[in-house]
Amino acid sequence: VRFIEKPKEVWEGFASMGIYIFDANYLREVIEERCGCEERFDIVNDIVIPLIEEKGVYAYVFGGYWEDIGKLSSYYEANMALLDEFPKLNLYDYSWRILTRENDMPALRIQTSANVSCSLICNGAVIKGTVMNSVISGGVVVDEGAYISNSIVFEDSYVARGAKIENAIVDKLVSVGRNASIGVGDRGPYNEDFPEDLNSGITLIGKGAVIPEGYRIGKNCAVDIFVKDYELPTEGIESGKSVLLPESEIRLRGEHDILEREVFWD
């Protein structure tokens, strides 16, 4: 067994899925021995690779579905692939059970004003507007007259009347105000801060962000987590631009757990 972390050149072999199985007591001993009092350690470089050189480590050849979603574009494409008529990863295959923790939520609610096509929508969501070719998580509210297409929207986000979201990844607890638009228009330039990740037209909205009424955000844009409406440029965000907070401010807001959903109810 040989392990090369992130090789610079492509070589014949197997790719690591990043799943490791240890005896719990043995792993605890190894961590204490090799990592000591370090707050952080890398499981591959600090544990797996040294153990391959010293101990018996075995690889399991997996022949099922797997995708590398380390890049934003590949993560987006993997989610969109779930919407295919015959997806490689079939969530409805009863011979392949999904074993995970799931919060108990009420059933999906689709109002008479809704228009839904080719989408995955989780329990707890309330759909009054239009959702097309999108993945919508639990607790999301899409108000009447709102429009979402080719997008991924995470838990407990709110999309107000007349808002429009296209080709975007919207993290959880985001509030999008009335008649706001995200990811609409021509593809535009690559993102100035993240050109390797935001170059295909996808716009990224971070956790807990608040997008005000009538606001415009272009393509290949990034809005940081916890950003409030008053912290956004008044003229909107042009394609390829970002709104980022200092790391110290992100940590401060995260510690104070400010993620109370701010909504623009009628």
- Tens digit of each residue's pLDDT (9 = 90 or more) over 129-161: 999 999 999 999 999 999 999 999 999 999 999
pLDDT band at 38 (very low <50, low <70, confident <90, very high): low
- The class that CATH gives domain 109-255 is mainly beta
List the single range of 4-13, 75-84, 108-117, 143-152 with lowest mean pLDDT: 4-13
Mean predicted lDDT score pLDDT of the chain: 89
Contacts of 49 (CB under 8 A, 6+ apart): 3, 5
Q: In this model, does residue 244 exceed pLDDT 80?
A: yes
Residue pair 183/203 in contact (Cβ under 8 Å)? The answer is yes
pLDDT tens-digit map of 70-93 = 889 999 999 999 999 999 999 888
Q: Residue 259's pLDDT is what?
A: 47
Hey, where are the domains in the chain? 1-63, 109-255
pLDDT band at 51 (very low <50, low <70, confident <90, very high): confident
* Percentage, residues of the chain above pLDDT 70: 89
157 against 65, higher pLDDT = 157
Q: Distance between CA atoms of 128 and 132, rounded to whole angstroms? A: 13
Q: In this model, does residue 187 exceed pLDDT 60?
A: yes
- Lateral strand order in the sheet of 141-142: 109-110, 126-127, 141-142, 158-159, 175-176, 210-211
Q: In this model, does residue 64 exceed pLDDT 80?
A: yes
Q: How far is CA 180 from the centre of its chain?
A: 21
Q: In this model, does residue 264 exceed pLDDT 70?
A: no
Q: Residue 93's pLDDT is what?
A: 87
